[in-house]
Chains A and B, each alone.
Chain A
Amino acid sequence: MNSVWLAIVGFIVFALGYRYYSKFIAEKIYHLDPDYVTPAHKYNDGVDFVPTKKVVLWGHHFSSVAGASPILGPAIALYWGWGPAFLWVILGTVFAAGVHDFGTLVLSVRNKGQSIGTLTDRLIGKRAKMLFLFIILILVLMVNAVFAWVISNLFIQFPAAVLPIFIEIPIAIWIGYAVYKRKAKMLVPSLIALAVMYGTAVLTSKVPFLQIDLVRYFGGADNTVIFGLDGISMSFFVWIVILLVYCYFASTLPVWKLLQPRDYINSHQLVVGLLMLYAGLLVLRPELTAPMTNEVSDVSWFPLLFITIACGAISGFHGLVASGTTSKQLDKETDARFVGYLGSVGEGVLALISIIAVATLFANAGDFRAAYSDFGAASLGGMSNFINGAAQLATGIAIPANIARTIVTVIVVSFAATSLDTSLRLMRYIISEIGSEYNFKPLTNMHVATSVAVVSSAALVLIPKGPNGFGSGGYLLWPLFGTSNQLLAGVSLLLISVWLKKQGRNFFYTFVPMVFIFSMTLYAMFVQVVFQWSGLGETDANMLLFILGGIIFVFAFWIILEAFRVFFKTDKSPPIDPSM
């Protein structure tokens, strides 16, 4: 089958979902009111609360939620064939993610622009909020540990991408300085920055001397360098240390100095990447060589598919962004449909190209099965498969394969680095919040909290022996990532349902995806904790995962019980604010 059909069907379903389903939800369920005074107007302070045009806000929301995850999840989920991944991405986006992102935005707008964490505190209770914080803490710790390894791995596999990535840092600092101190415009300098980065990528692809290949510097993969570490392990060690030191500075510096201008450059990369890949797809029109369904014996698609693809279909992280910053900038309440629903559709489009890139990469189904021999191989090779597949698509617009590979790697590493330092920053905030909640003052200090975040991430990356060798300790906890993220989405949908019920409205359309997400997540966790990690099943016991997974499982169950108590409580009192 030709892969263009997947793109066409996907786009048609997304368009219908936006045109009809989101309109129905906006009018009949969320009752959007064009005259409602949004927090952006009510609390307009020129900083956090600023009424913003819907197209601008959509772009900002989309670039905040788009990262490496909508690429990685579908690339791994292709293990069960492209069919299930494709169906979940399009249906999950239309019926679950759209309603979730759109709903968290509306809920936050109707509650003074407060975030999901604060709303959990208010609508469910303080205990639920603390449990929620611990789950997010484990979530970001895993992201730090795994993304540090993923980026190091890409640096080792594609050394031509190192220099263009490193060049981005001084350019970003320069742009930040020019804009802040000299009030310069950003568009032209950031386009020049992009041109410099891609120009360097072309150069490094052609000139091996410019490729920063640590393995070669350390005398090859088999050479023992120091403390029994071979060339590859030593390279991982050096890259991980460099990345974490960089993250320490990136997360303690004022954001306008480095992170904002760097994100600004990366947003261009998102546009360049999407245009490049979809244009390549239209020119090449490659056949799908991966099978539609893949019979496997080790890990069943049901329920694991729904936690493997998080961003790209539904993801709890989107609710954090929608209720954290986007809701404070919504000009009119009716814009929430465009910003929230279409924001999740944007993620769906990114996930769709990831599926197509990997499903068209292999020469035939045999090659696919060799690369995706078991779930471990799928998880390990997901990102590299995407890069190779995407590079193949990019050859459609006359970019030579090796240069395309370097450029795609630069784009992917940029996204992954954004996720890494954002999650480190988030971890710092959570550690500070826990510190102030339990009245432990030292943790509220920025440098102490950042050091705790960096040291614990480094310990998780370097100390335990991970499944992918030295430096992959984060992968020991990675199986918990999908479940923690989806729990967050479930809790957000539950909050929306509680709010709708309080308003006496139909909560069926948020309740059904919530039940689905909760059951899939808890089912997956139960199967993994009891049958995979406890040693009761056929596999050997994994005490670390068993204990942590067990804790998250209990916490999740606890939050759900607390929430259901609130949900089914007969509430005769009127809403706190009648306008909500």
Chain B
Amino acid sequence: MDILERFKKVITIYDEILQQPHRTEIARELREEEDLFTLLCFSELLGLPNPAFYYTLELYPFVIERFHDWHLRMGMEKSPLNGIRCC
């Protein structure tokens, strides 16, 4: 490995070190937005009237996988909603 490549590698690691906490925070913000969106989609199942029901219903097939990630993250090994048997 020549000096230039070594230098590039050092700079990449240095950049990664500094990016690390920033990446975490942005991922957390995005996850919170995602959770809110999931809540809006499934609000009917929780008894909250949803004016956009017809549209969110169409989104169900797309959010099922995210829903699975969400309930796992919340510490529930199996889906808490009877209507959705994702696992």
Contact = CB atoms under 8 A, between A and B. Distances in A.
Contacts of A48: 24, 28
A268 B14 CA distance: 10
Contacts of A60: 17, 20-21
A56 B24 CA distance: 13
B1 interface: no
Interface residues of A, number: 33
Contacts of A46: 27, 31
A301 interface: no
Contacts of A261: 22
Nearest to A187: B15
Interface in B6-21: 11, 13-21
Given A47-B27, A254-B29, A256-B29, A56 B16 contact: yes
B73 interface: yes
A187 B19 CA distance: 8
B24 A180 contact: no
Interface string A38-52: 000000011110101
Interface of chain B, main secondary structure = helix
Contact of A264 (B16, B22, B73): B22
B22 A53 contact: no
Contacts of B26: 179-180, 256
Interface string A250-283: 0000111000110110011001000000000000
Nearest to A267: B18
B16 A53 contact: yes
Given A186-B15, A254-B29, A260-B25, A45 B20 contact: no
Of the listed residues A46, A55, A63, A261, the one surrounded by the most CB atoms of chain B closer than 10 A to its CB is A46
A59 B21 contact: no
Contacts of A325: 24
A446 B59 CA distance: 33
Contacts of A171: none
Given A47-B27, A180-B26, A255-B25, A55 B17 contact: yes
Contacts of B69: 45
Nearest to A255: B25
Q: How large is the interface on B (under 10, 10 to 19, 20 to 34, 35 or more residues)?
A: 20 to 34
A57 interface: yes
Given A45-B73, A55-B13, A56-B13, A263 B24 contact: no
Interface in A40-81: 45-48, 50, 52-53, 55-60, 63-64
B67 to A, nearest CB: 15
A170 B22 CA distance: 17
B22 A256 contact: yes
Contacts of A263: 21
Contacts of B28: 47-48
Contact of A56 (B11, B20, B73): B20
A486 interface: no
A485 interface: no
Contacts of B15: 185-187
Contact of B20 (A47, A52, A180, A254): A52
B61 to A, nearest CB: 22
Contacts of B22: 179, 186, 256, 260-261, 264
B17 A63 contact: yes
Contact of A47 (B11, B17, B24): B24
A202 B13 CA distance: 30
A190 interface: yes
Contacts of B27: 46-47
A260 B27 CA distance: 13
A263 B21 CA distance: 9
22 contacts: A46-B31, A47-B31, A50-B24, A55-B17, A56-B17, A59-B13, A59-B20, A63-B17, A180-B26, A180-B29, A185-B15, A186-B18, A186-B22, A187-B11, A187-B14, A187-B18, A190-B18, A256-B26, A256-B29, A260-B22, A264-B18, A267-B17
Interface of A: 45-48, 50, 52-53, 55-60, 63-64, 179-180, 185-187, 190, 254-256, 260-261, 263-264, 267-268, 271, 325, 329
Closest 8 CB pairs between A and B? A59-B17, A47-B27, A256-B25, A60-B20, A187-B15, A56-B16, A260-B22, A255-B25
